[in-house]
Amino acid sequence: MRIWFLFLILILSGIILSGCIREYDEVVITSVDVMSSPQDGGTKLTVTPYIQNNLNTNTGALTIRVKIKEPSTNLIVAEKDSDIGYIKSKSSAYNSISMMVADPGEYMVEVQVFEGGKLLAQNYAPVTVKQKPGPGQPSDIKLMDMNLVVTKIYSDGSGALVDVSPGIYNQGGDSGALTIEVTARVDQYTQYTKSDEIGIVKGSESRRSKVTFDIPRNREYSFMVSVIEGGKTVISSKVNEKIKLNELKYNMPVTYVLVEEGKPVAATTKTEPGFEAAIALAGILMIYTIGRKRKSR
């Protein structure tokens, strides 16, 4: 009986330590967005990391450190720190940091998050800095963020009018006529879609579109924004959290970061995957062998 008790303990230990049922209770950088803007004498890179606090407690005061590196030499060509304060438990935050690089080419953006000098998380994003676009160059559209404001609440509280304003930036040549499409999804069966024709967006130009939803207020929504050019979707991004409409204050705008579809959520693990499981398995085999020998005596 004692053998089988130890056998069970080792199985559970192996599963937990190998991460099969371990939760990632930590601070992570889920995505890094980089926008480039040609300037006199170089290119401005605006780096926006999206940070998620999965802990059951608030963080302390956090600092973001952004480094722009030249990949072939690993030399740092620009570096900047920014204090962002604390992040509440089970919530997220983001902050934009701008730096200049002198030459076009390939760069690597490294983002680190510190708390009291201790490294909590880091993530990387490659970026290509192009020459200033000339005539005939294709557009390169980036979705920046999404403003949302409740402009009307019905007297019985059942519904609301909501203005949604995605911001876009064209870091390429002049675009064709653009359509911004916004979808507010409740579940796989219920969604609301609105669109805004914003026309041509010139190179290095920013623009903010606007659509209005008339939707139920006592639900939570996932928001998706797509940019359509010439009948083709050129970029789609989403808000990386569900928005509870009845928790938003009347006539008070809230800004949400937009994360490009297809970008993986980063989560750092501090152990080699499967190493503890291998140890546990070896222990299980050893106990099983001892038990067999005792039975054969």
Q: Which residue has the higher pLDDT, 268 or 178?
A: 178
Q: What is the pLDDT of residues 27-52, one digit of tens each?
A: 999 888 888 888 878 888 999 888 98
Q: What is the rounded average pLDDT of the residues 202-209? A: 88
Question: Under the phi-then-psi rule, with left for phi > 0, alpha for psi from -120 to 50, and beta for the rest, what region is 197?
Answer: beta
What pLDDT does residue 286 have?
A: 52
Q: What pLDDT, on a 0 to 100 scale, did the predictor assign at position 3?
A: 55
Query: Is pLDDT above 90 for 13?
Result: no
Distance CA 141, CA 147 (A): 18
Give the pLDDT confidence of 256-284 residue by residue, as tens digits.
Answer: 888 887 655 443 333 334 444 444 454 55
What mean pLDDT is predicted for residues 81-91? 91
* Number of neighbouring beta carbons within 10 Å of residue 53: 22
pLDDT mean over 146-165: 93
DSSP annotation of 89 reads T
The predicted structure's pLDDT at residue 293: 52
pLDDT at 187: 93
What average pLDDT does this structure show over 84-96?
Answer: 88
Query: E strands of the chain, at which residues?
Result: 27-39, 42-53, 62-70, 75-85, 91-94, 97-101, 105-115, 118-129, 141-153, 159-170, 177-185, 191-200, 206-208, 211-216, 220-229, 232-239, 243-244, 254-260
Confidence of residue 81 (pLDDT cuts 50, 70, 90): very high
pLDDT for 71 equals 85
The pTM assigned to this predicted structure is 0.63
What does the angle CA 29 – CA 34 – CA 38 come to, to the nearest 5 degrees? 160
pLDDT computed for residue 271 by the predictor: 32
Residue with tokens 């200049």: 100
